[in-house]
Amino acid sequence: MAPRKFDLIAFDWDGTLIDSTALIATSLQEAARDLGLAVPTREEASHVIGLGLIQAFMWLWPDLEEGRHPALLERYRYHFLGRDREITLFPGVREMLGVLRAQGYLLTVATGKARQGLIRALEQAELTGFFDATRCADETASKPHPMMLLELIEEFGVEPDRVLMVGDTTHDLQMARNAGTAAVAVSCGAHPISELQREPSLAILDEVGALPRWLACHG
């Protein structure tokens, strides 16, 4: 058997492990309607998934006064938290994580969510305590800045070329490139394959559950 290439796997959360893209996009649209802002298209709202919320607001509404961000955040959370219990893990995710953990990989999360949002999501998915470490956008720099991955690299003392980022957006792939790590994309989330293909990655998988099979051949 060929030697393993990676020691640490960093997963994005929304759109990668959990099927939340539609609800996030809809919640952004509804928040805009509530405040009389220009309502983004589904494509525009999906594009910002993976960024921290403030960064997402700045991309969608670049002329919006900063003082209106708190109201927009409140309306987004109102719509999202009212339905987030409907969100489920993608099929096979729990089994996939179990396989990788048994194989000795360090499993981490690098997400655009805020810490409280990730805590809630992990509880609802019954994955609290499952990951070796997590990073959130309100505690470090938002993607595509490499800080999330660089902090994980430092925490575990691994080399960048031993880290694999797995995500569903170009933000994830750009973060990996900026941190000097490898990346695998999944096409089940926020960004279409046509966008994912514009950024460097080792593969674009149909679903994250296929990762152990890919690693067995390539990682």
Distances (CA, A) of 2 to 5, 26, 28, 109, 214: 9, 45, 46, 27, 13
Q: Known catalytic residues?
A: 12, 14
Taking the C-alpha atoms of 11, 12, 17 and 21 in order, what is their torsion angle to the nearest 10 degrees?
-170
- Tally of helices (H runs) and strands (E runs) in the chain: 10, 6
DSSP string, 69-132: HHHHHHHHHHHHHTTGGG--BPTTHHHHHHHHHHTT-EEEEEESS-HHHHHHHHHHTT-TT-SS
